[in-house]
């Protein structure tokens, strides 16, 4: 088990296998080790990546395929060589979630998804057509 101090969730205890190493970090965030955190009893469509090194850093994430039926991911040769083949059986894809300043709802970053294979993660640039930085999450699905 790993103990993580958190300004958002108090102290967290997570399994060793929940810690992900990001060799190049996450865009705009400090640290290279994050833990998957689920909040029991809270909407299961969202989770968190919480920094192991920085108590104040945690980002909400979601599976973009749940919200966007046409979501596709296209990687540069450089990103593909770092990540390897994206296989639904062994890879996880997450999109960072934030408040949409225009609508007041939630939006997902489909332009820079987070790909996790085993215990290694990479934030990549998605070159797929229509991969928005702020794709609004459908309000009807948020209520579900």
pLDDT of residue 13: 92
**pLDDT at residue 103, as a whole number:** 74
Domain ranges in the chain?
A: 2-143
pLDDT given at position 22: 97
Q: Render 77-124 in DSSP notation, one character per residue.
A: HHHHHHH----TTTEEEEEEEEE-TTTSSEEE--SS-EEEETTEEEE-
How many other CB atoms sit within 10 Å of the CB of residue 107? Answer: 20
Average pLDDT, consecutive stretches of 10 residues, N- to C-terminus, the chain (144 residues): 91 92 96 87 81 96 92 91 79 92 86 94 95 86 57
Nearest to 46 by CA among 35, 57, 37, 54: 37
Residue 141 CA to residue 130 CA, distance in Å, equals 20
CATH topology of domain 2-143: BH3618-like (2.30.290)
Q: Specify the length of the chain in residues.
A: 144
What is the pTM for the complete model shown? 0.89
pLDDT at 85: 74
First to last CA, the chain: 33
């Amino acid at each position: 088990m790993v103990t993580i101090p958190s300004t958002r969730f108090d102290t967290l205890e997570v399994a060793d296998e929940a810690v992900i190493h990001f060799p190049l970090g996450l865009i705009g965030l400090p640290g290279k080790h994050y833990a998957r955190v689920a909040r029991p009893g809270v909407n299961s469509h969202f989770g968190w990546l919480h920094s192991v090194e920085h108590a104040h850093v945690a980002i909400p994430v979601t599976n973009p395929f749940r919200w966007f039926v046409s979501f596709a991911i296209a990687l540069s040769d450089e990103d593909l060589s770092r990540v390897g083949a994206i296989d639904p059986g062994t890879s996880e894809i997450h999109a960072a979630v934030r408040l949409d300043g225009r609508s007041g709802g939630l939006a997902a970053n489909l332009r820079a998804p987070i790909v996790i294979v085993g215990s290694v993660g990479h934030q990549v640039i998605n070159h797929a057509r229509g991969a928005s930085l702020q794709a609004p999450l459908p309000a009807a699905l948020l209520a579900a």
